[in-house]
Structure 1
């Protein structure tokens, strides 16, 4: 929870800022609202706050003067300056005082939300910095893009890690995956007995990241030998893959080394070996193999669907799966391609397709995805067949509407049971077979009443299959809303 004080001599600005803060989230609470700096100072002993937002232009005591006094009383309180003047001299002076931000009126909600998140992050870091372990600091630098973190946070983590002699020298990063899940403890056991120091970080249930110290006397193949040892020591029942980075020096390179190891393990994931490792330096230098996997199939697959050639669609998917294994795209690209392909056959495909890395290897994933696609294609094919059945039945009724409708005969025409045909027709059209049969007869009767004036109404009824005039009148009125004679008089 971030506790906030707002100081501004304009009531409209004050209340508007408080409203914006309340809209941003429950993590941010306004604990004090003041119309002047003097008023706020008089009440400072009665309010606990982490963050002060103050207007810079106020009578008697301006914002910078207020901040100067607050810092002597509450040195840990953070603050931001609010002004309606885009004046660099104000901004420069505010920053000199340690302001986290210089906000211009009217305050933009997105900018305010970003500022409050920054304040919250700093407060959390300061509260937990002394409690963080080596693993926590490593995880912060390994698994997060530096651009997504405040600079002070990454700098603090780097300073913390440089205090450990073993992390001041050369290192390599391994990404370790096991199926079924291999825990950090399993990998620690596999590395036991090694004279060098290891650090392990759990990324998720299936993946552990290891940082291994590399000595000055190690040689170019050291990481390969270490990878072979780790793989060899895994339980015989496990499938395992390792990705190894180049050798780096300095905590600033942790993220880069992790990305290399991640790229290596994704490349090795396409191997059919039960256990194996891939070193980043062995990857192809030309990335032609990473062609967009969706573009590789999109046109052929869409054409097959357009032509309702489901056999061809299945064939194109089979060929594509083999080409995927050969070209070895990154997991994100492969996942996006699979989502795009399934979108042709299903709604909300992203919630259906599982991530590639949750499978032991590429063969297991492509087999799963082909089964998923083939199942959807079969549903689409069945729906098309059922649609053809309904159209066949409709055509038969239109050509034989003068005859009595026999459900058994209709079912025999399309090789279905009477009950299934009735259910299918209702599902596809929204009306029963009887309702459709009557609508065809009545539509034809309306045509005859309109175009053949000489025909008597009972003769019209006979021509559409109703030989009882009273029954014809009853059915016609129920369907159209008037008798045949009334209908003819109306259209005349």
Structure 2
């Protein structure tokens, strides 16, 4: 809280200072002045939260100073100090916008009541400012508010910004960490509210790419606040992140560079969101500054970045128990272990090992468990594959998708080897699961489906037998006729004749 005490009597000023020191519990600074001209100077210089203003002062009265300064700092709260004989002046100041008055001699009880009211007013101002900032930013990000239509004096055009983006781990089912997720958002909202003040605006929003982030904004000319953001605000956010780092819900937090305007902010956000794709190589549950991140990214090859993205995809497929895609990504990761793993910075290797341990739910603390070498990586990947294979053998989801594929493509040249390749599993494994699910071999199922479709065509169309054969996927009319007789007890032409006879 920034306070100005304006009174030409030294002992009045000293008395107010001492009483405020006893009353105030928050951070504060108090500046003393003794005439109206000095009041105007301080209003222009620091835009204080509160001015305790004596009505009668030499050179320029308090009332004159108030009338000239009121528009320079609209959010400043003015408390008029007067004697009984000067109360009409105080009344006029209240009519002009002063929020309250104190009668001399000021008592501690009076001052404490006034101070409590000031806090409430400041909180209300901050809440309105915070809400407006968040609403305007959200509207810009959602494209319901255009930068082109904003007037030049609009707040959003006067600010510099810093984005802090978060990527949450998705590897614990929602039902398991819904309370943690709710707690995370609550803690971050509380942190945002604590950061908001007259100089700094903060909002927890969803940015255009769908990522959750905190946007910090301050007046572009306010170098002091920018320094405070880079030093203290980051520290306060990191302290909150530290409190949230003990549970199963993990997160990655990237703090960007200061941006001179909204267009630069949106461009920088897109870059940070792209960087979050390599989160597997980053420290979990910690705030990473842009200089540190850009330094790491600069050392990575294209293959290393793709490998990191593959780790993220692999973790997602493991959570979804998607065996065939897991195997596909696992093979790609294994290939990089042979070719480029040793070129990664040691810290990135450690973070990646912790990421995989956490993603595959090893039951270890991911902050302490990394993978020492490529052999340990392969062992963990293989273990994950075996676990999914065991789960998949009791699951029918993949075979349902195979059946859907067959029903859409039965007229094409499909076989077990080709379908297995599409679904990234071995032909033997597909055949085993398919038989277990359907009670039929793959070939018999396709043949039965083709014959059933052929019967529909023979019954409802005048197509020749060879045309029907081609329409359901048989290249040879003779082979079609033979299989049709085996399944139906008659040749296609006989089947049609019997239907027409009925």
TM-score, normalised to structure 2's length?
Answer: 0.33
Which structure shows the higher helix fraction? 2
Q: Normalized against structure 1, the TM-score is what?
A: 0.33
